[in-house]
Structure 1
Amino acid sequence: MTSSFFAECAWLGGDTVTANVLITVDAGRITSVSAGADCPAGARRLAGLAMPGVANAHSHVFHRAIRGRGQQGVDSFWSWRDLMYSVAGTLNPDSLYELALATYAEMSLAGVTSVGEFFYVHHDPDGRPYANPNIMGETVARAAEDAGLRITLLDTLYLQGGVDGREVAGVQKRFSDGSWEQWAARVGQLKDTATFRSGAAIHSVRAVPRPALAPVADFARANGMPLHAHVSEQPAENQESLDVYGLTPTKLLHEAGVLGADMTAVHATHLTEADIAAYGSTGTNICMCCTTERDLADGVGPAGALLAAGAGLCVGSDAHMMIDLLEEGRAIELDHRLVTGRRGHVGVAQIAESLTSGGARSLGWDAGSIAPGKLADFTVIDLLSPRTAGAATGEMLPHVIFAATGADVRTVVRGGVVVVDEGRNLRVPNTGQALDAAIGKIMASL
């Protein structure tokens, strides 16, 4: 079925914005884009600035339950992790679905059209596979579809409790398949759809032993899957890797053949010059999760140096201390200004690309630009909010990138179908109430 959208203003790439853009869509893909057009009868008018759909390249959906609960009395990443583990230990398919549905609806309200779910709560609380061994991953996939998102399920390998090879313990038993071969056999049962695709993830060099790194990368590439890994989020992780292997986590992954244009290193905060060069030479994607780095006092990653070396950038809301991808994007530049004392590390168009095409590339979706042949995913920003007023007569793209928030998202379209209209998710209309109810049930079970 053919439909059309008329964007009063649209970002089609580069540093400028184009007025009066007519976009035609058929079977969920863009068939034509015409600038300087008139709005025909029957076209859906997109009031504001239309951008390609925003991609959230790194999510741990169940972390949403502890937003605000680790701001007092939790003094480090490791103590925060204990709090997070307490929630992971309580989840079942029903409670996970309710929380994921509401959290993904919150994401859609912030303009997200696709999400990369870095997922490792695979089994029951004792580490035993469910009758359907993929029920937990399939649950978050169903929640994403029901909330109106595309999802790349980055099914995560987790085999050990530390770089030193200690066994998983406690809640970590839920995460482990026992071997990379058993993990691959389970993941191989997942089937892609128009809005779901399976991906692979190495949790970290802490959780995956060296001999399993190359096989996971080979499995992902043999099956055309995006590949992600947590890398160098904490200095302690780097030191443990150096102590055990004599290599940084990046060097360890590089030697195993993991890096590449189909791979995304999440965080990549504490890097050596050699690490940066390795990411650049391989065209690896870097997913920056700035609001999480701030909240956990992790540090500020070298975004400008990574870009200059040839790496790609995307963004994620990670632990969901907040879900505002516009903030994630501008924080790449703004946080770097704070630690360097100068401006101009990452340009406005590069930030916009990290939100859209960079994320789409990381997650394996043929999206991220408003162009013929691409998936018809759009995010529309209100230009008349108190934050964006004046953008229409000024430098529109910089104004939106550096001042708009997720609350300014007006309309979201996935595959040519409106998911968010006038700031309301049409599938989960009472998103705040749904979140409150889902979180309340989980926290009452602790």
Structure 2
Amino acid sequence: MQTIFARQARLPGGWVQDLRLRIENGAIAALQPDSTSQDGDTRVDTLLPGMANLHSHSFQRAMAGMTEHRAPGKDSFWTWRDLMYRFVEKLTPDHIEAIAALTFMEMLEAGFTSVGEFHYLHHRPGGARYADPTELSQRVFAAAMETGIGLTHLPVLYSYGGAGQQPLSGGQLRFGNSVDSFVALLENTRAAARRNMPADTVVGLAPHSLRATCPEELIKAISLQEGAPLHIHIAEQPAEVRAIQDWLGGRPVEWLLENTPVDSSWCLIHATHMTGKETQQMAQSGAVAGLCPITEANLGDGPFNGPDFLGNDGRFGIGSDSNVRISLPEELRMLEYSQRLRHMARNVMIHEAGSVGASLFLGGAQGGALALGRDSGQIEVGGLADLIAIDSDRPSLCALPPSQLLDGFCFAAGDDAVTDVWSAGRHKVRQGRHASRDSIVATYKHCISDLCAAL
């Protein structure tokens, strides 16, 4: 058992003062506002619900800064992808574990309490199988255990190199599975998680995209869901939309909604290029929009249709995707600013009048928790103790009353505003620093030196 005393906290009903919170078995057991601190309490300034990072490819963290050199002609997502495939060919299991540990540690220090790891790197370079087909998932598990982050692991079905069942090639060979080999992989991964991982670990699944599957195999993959989260890349690039429309006779979101049982257990990643009708129908399906604003800006994907989606009661969460930059306030800031640029207006990502920061932060926390299948996203008895503490005495925040504090966090604060982080009660970040930072960084630096020598 552990207790936290917060000078102020954001509960579902609003702000409270002098909150004493008790944690038992990773969950919130009691909430006592207007209390006094007691010996043994962990004292923090401002307590907030933890934020889920709903979409990550952790290995890509090691590529940060390597793809910002313009090639001849027009650079795009597709030229970036070619570079990523070449990078993938050099990664060993030790590299993957070390990079994931650094990435997960940085997420926790940024205020992300859980992560959806969209895991498509399954095999050896060239596509040969490991003796244990879950080898690389086990490396992700080890990184999550070392850092203490809450993990929703999402093994990816990736069968084809492009729309129309094109063959896999190059770096894609490390991703590839038939639907039958994916069934075995998923069963073995679920069993490994039950044996080795904390009780809050979730194993969902992720058909990579419509272009990397086919309709028949997608339907079979969906049958494996068993109530777990299902994530899929959808409509990230105009070229992808055209290719799917030419092949399947419908735009990606349109086709998916008409041909599969999309509901609130689904998360549609990068639902960027949608018509007004698709936006409305997706919102009404209950699916979470998985938005990755920094990566979507870095790759030139384009902005999401935020106002229409929120206007139809759509739910969203945020992810760091390529992990080129890991920052909770910056993801939320980029989401809102992309909408301001698109619509040439201010204060866009809110359905009615009120605090935009609160709309972004609380909406992202609740939508992200739903997408990861975690009982979190708000501070309430019985929910997982996924919590972050921030310091409202920082210069960027000290002038703000509670009603504007989340505005300040989203639009003015730096990464140093986060002081403490709990994931299912695991208190791994104190005073802004992860407990295992030194060893994780040392292992990563050794790994990256070895990796760079191989590139």
TM class by shorter chain equals over 0.9
Q: Pairwise mapping of residues 21-170 of structure 1 onto structure 2 (< 5 A)?
A: 21-47=19-45, 49-74=46-71, 75-170=75-170
- In 2, are the aligned partners of 1:213 and 1:258 still within 8 Å (CA)? no
- Root-mean-square deviation (CA, aligned residues, Å) is 1.7
Indicate the SS of the match to 1:219: coil
- Provide Cα deviations, 1:112-139, integer angstroms capped at 9, x if missing partner: 1100000101011121221110110111
Partners of 2:412 and 2:439 lie apart in 1 by 26
TM-score of the superposed pair, with normalisation by structure 1: 0.94
Contact 2:85-2:170 at 8 Å conserved across structures: no
Establish whether residue 420 from structure 1 lines up as the match of residue 418 from structure 2. Answer: no
Is 1:206 aligned with 2:204? Answer: no
Secondary structure, in 3 states, of the residue corresponding to 1:57? strand
| Structure-2 change in CA distance of 1:91 and 1:206 (3 Å) | same
Matched residue, 1:287: 290
Distance 1:181 1:405 in 2: 47
SS of alignment partner, residue 73 of structure 1: coil
Q: Which has the larger displacement, 319-328 or 254-263?
A: 254-263
Asked if the contact 1:276–1:305 (Cα under 8 Å) also holds between the matched residues in 2, the reply is yes
Q: Deviations over 1:228-250 (max 9, x none)?
A: 01111100000101111120111
Q: Which amino acid aligns with 1:162?
A: G
Alpha-carbon distance, 1:431 to partner:
5.2
Instruction: Give 3-state SS (helix, strand or coil) of 1:321's partner.
Output: coil
Instruction: Give the Cα–Cα distance (whole angstroms) in 2 for the partners of residues 309 and 335 of structure 1.
Output: 20
- Per-residue CA deviations over 1:261-293 (Å, capped at 9, x if unaligned) read 000001111101221122122111001101011
Alignment of 1:17-416 (within 5 A): 17-47=15-45, 49-74=46-71, 75-177=75-177, 179-189=178-188, 190-191=190-191, 192=194, 193-220=198-225, 223-346=226-349, 347-392=356-401, 395-416=404-425
Secondary structure of the corresponding residue to residue 400 of structure 1: helix
Does the C-alpha gap of structure 1 residues 109 and 434 become closer, same or farther in structure 2, counting only changes over 3 Å? farther
Amino acid at match of 1:62: F
Alpha-carbon shift at residue 434 of structure 1 (Å): 4.5
Q: Which 5+ residue runs of structure 2 have no aligned equivalent? A: 350-355
Instruction: Decide whether the 8 Å contact of 2:15 with 2:402 is kept in 1.
Output: no
- The separation in 2 between residues aligned to 1:421 and 1:439, in whole angstroms, is 27
> TM-score normalized by structure 2?
0.93
Single out whichever of 94-103 and 404-413 deviates more from structure 2. 404-413
Q: Deviations over 1:10-53 (max 9, x none)?
A: 11136x53221111111111111122221122211113x21111
SS in structure 1 at match of 2:398? coil
For 1:185 and 1:44, locate their aligned partners in 2 and report how far apart those are by CA, in whole Å: 45
Contact 1:228-1:265 within 8 A present in 2 as well: yes
Q: Rate the CA distance shift 1:312–1:181 in 2: closer, same or farther, 3 A.
A: same
Partner Cα separation in structure 2 for residue 242 and residue 323 of structure 1: 34
C-alpha spacing 1:388/1:113, structure 2 compared with 1 (3 Å): same
1:442 paired residue number: 451
**Residues 371-427 of structure 1: per-residue CA shift (max 9 Å, x gap):** 100111211112233332323577222212222233321111122231001111002
Instruction: For 1:34 and 1:401, locate their aligned partners in 2 and report how far apart those are by CA, in whole Å.
Output: 27
Deviates more, 1:326-335 or 1:294-303: 326-335
Maintained 8 Å contact 1:85/1:171: yes
SS in structure 1 of the partner of residue 227 of structure 2: coil
Report the AA paired with residue 368 of structure 2. G
Conservation of the 8 A alpha-carbon contact between 2:150 and 2:424:
no
Shift of 1:362: 0.4
For 2:69 and 2:140, the matched residues in 1 are separated by: 30
Partner secondary structure for residue 39 of structure 2: coil
Shift of 1:91: 1.5
What is the one-letter code of the residue matched to 1:180? Answer: V
- Counterpart CA distance in 1 for 2:36 and 2:427 is 21
**Aligned-pair distance for 1:63?**
0.6
Name the CA distance, whole Å, in 2 between partners of 1:298 and 1:431.
32
| Pairwise CA distance, 1:428 | 2.6
Structure 2 CA distance for aligned equivalents of residues 154 and 258 of structure 1? 19
Task: Answer yes or no: is the 8 Å Cα contact 1:65–1:442 preserved in 2.
Answer: no
Residue deviations 1:153-173 (CA, integer Å, cap 9, x gap): 111110001102110011111
Taking the aligned partners of 1:17 and 1:395, their CA distance within structure 2 comes to: 11
Q: Secondary structure at the match of 1:40?
A: coil
State whether residues 101 and 440 of structure 2, in contact with CA within 8 Å, keep that contact through their aligned partners in structure 1.
no
Structure 2 Cα separation of the partners of residues 440 and 54 of structure 1: 32
Preserved contact between residue 290 and residue 328 of structure 1 (Cα < 8 Å): yes
Q: Output one character per residue of 1:141-192: Cα deviation in whole Å (capped at 9) or x when no partner.
A: 2101211101111111100011021100111111011x21220121012234
Per the alignment, in what secondary structure is the counterpart of residue 268 of structure 1? coil
- Sequence identity of aligned pairs in percent? 33
Deviation at 1:207, TM superposition (A): 0.7
Name the count of aligned residue pairs. Answer: 440
Task: Tell me which amino acid in the other structure corresponds to 1:298.
Answer: D
2:57 counterpart letter in structure 1 = H
SS of the counterpart of 1:429? helix
